[in-house]
Amino acid sequence: MNNKLQISLSGITLANPIIPASGTYGFGDEFAELYDINCLGGISFKGTTREARYGNPLPRIAECGNYGMINAVGLQNPGVEHVIAHELPRLKSHYNGCIVANVSGFSVQDYVETCAMLDKEPIDILEVNISCPNVHNGGMAFGTSPEAAAEVTAAVKAVTTKPVYMKLSPNVTDIVAIAKACEAAGADGLCLINTVLGMRIDIRRRRPVIANRYGGYSGAGIFPLALRMVNQVARATSLPIIGCGGVSSAEDVIEMMMAGATAVEIGAANLTNPMVAKEIIDRLPTLMDELKIEKLTDIIGIVNHE
């Protein structure tokens, strides 16, 4: 372990700040065929709901040039009971790092029940997704109003002793207001951003590429937007932030941390280069030497210091 890379989230030590983002890494099985996933600081596993979900009709994927992609998967998952019985024990058996349980719901009660069940399991952080743009009557609906975001935060906090990180949507007028509402309601941390609502049209068939019409845009193209929002929230709250959105290189990781992130999630980049998380972790020490960074904790939010 390289102590230069070590960071801490709500008292949990991570060997490095790199966490594959939920929905881009499954439960790690596919990536473990290519490298030892124990190099990762943490893993945010596939978004889990109270009941099993198939998700949205196909096609669910659209490309956006060289800069990213749109997905409208719609939280396909086997349901929390199956995750606890099968996926989590398997992940736990071959991964020793920080396990971030990503949870989504369609009512406050959904979030509460799912989080209460996971509270008894060997997970380290609950990442409460109030920002999925691909489901109706839930997901993002809770992340677009400060009141609803606070309600979910408080309700989940009441049923768990695990650190609760709220995953925020960029599809809002004022992300700072939502972040502050989560903080006031007792959130232990924040993760931002989820995908940006987007669209592509097949000009030959004259119809949307995505069957669900709109989907979540992710990839390198959203990095500046994510960075700006992380910085705004870092300046307005005192919660630890997991920065997410378009991160594709070790340089992006440093930038996210300088903006105010304590840890950094890698999303869409895992899908195009399955080695990217490991490559970033391997590259960080050299890059830090170049930038004269002694340890990563020294640069968190450094651009916000007077």
Partner 1 sequence: MKQRLFEIKSNEQIAKNVYRMQLGGDTTGILPGQFVNIRVEGQFLRRPISVCNINNGVLTIIYKVVGVGTEAMSHLPIGTQLDVLTVLGNGYDLSKAGDSPLLVGGGVGVPPMYMLARQLREAGKTVRVILGFNTKDEVFYEEEFCALGCDVTVTTVDGSHGVKGFVTNALDGKQSYYYTCGPLPMIKALLQAAGTNGEVSMEERMGCGFGACMGCTIQTTQGPKRVCKEGPVFPASELIL
Contacting positions for partner 1 (CB under 8 A):
23-26, 29-31, 33-34, 46, 54-55, 58-69, 71, 73, 76, 219-220, 268, 270-275
Nearest CB to partner 1, comparing residues 245 and 260: 245
Nearest CB to partner 1, comparing residues 133 and 219: 219
CA–CA distance from 60 to each of 17, 98, 129, 214 (Å)?
A: 30, 30, 19, 9
Q: End-to-end CA distance of the chain, in Å?
A: 33
Mark 137-152 as b/e (b = at least 16 C-beta within 10 Å): ebbbbbbbebebbbbb
User: What is the nearest approach in angstroms of partner 1 to the Cβ of residue 48?
Assistant: 13
User: What is the nearest approach in angstroms of partner 1 to the Cβ of residue 270?
Assistant: 7
User: What is the nearest approach in angstroms of partner 1 to the Cβ of residue 219?
Assistant: 6
Angle, CA 140 vertex, CA 53 and CA 228 arms, to 5°: 130
Four-point Cα dihedral 241, 244, 249, 254, nearest 10: -20
What does the alpha-carbon distance between residue 289 and residue 55 come to, in Å, rounded to a whole number? Answer: 45
CB 135 within 8 A of CB 152: no
Nearest CB to partner 1, comparing residues 273 and 286: 273
Structure tokens at 171: 């599809």
Nearest CB to partner 1, comparing residues 60 and 157: 60
The contacts of residue 11 (CB under 8 Å, 6+ apart) are 163
User: What is the nearest approach in angstroms of partner 1 to the Cβ of residue 34?
Assistant: 6
Nearest CB to partner 1, comparing residues 26 and 285: 26
What does the alpha-carbon distance between residue 216 and residue 70 come to, in Å, rounded to a whole number? Answer: 5
Q: What is the phi/psi pair of residue 290, to 5°?
A: -55, -40
User: 3-class DSSP state for residue 98?
Assistant: strand
Q: Find the catalytic residue in 132, 182, 191, 244.
A: 132
What does the alpha-carbon distance between residue 87 and residue 135 come to, in Å, rounded to a whole number? Answer: 23
Nearest CB to partner 1, comparing residues 26 and 301: 26
User: What is the nearest approach in angstroms of partner 1 to the Cβ of residue 222?
Assistant: 12
User: What is the nearest approach in angstroms of partner 1 to the Cβ of residue 185?
Assistant: 31
132 is catalytic: yes
User: 3-class DSSP state for residue 6?
Assistant: coil
Q: Which residues are designated catalytic?
A: 132
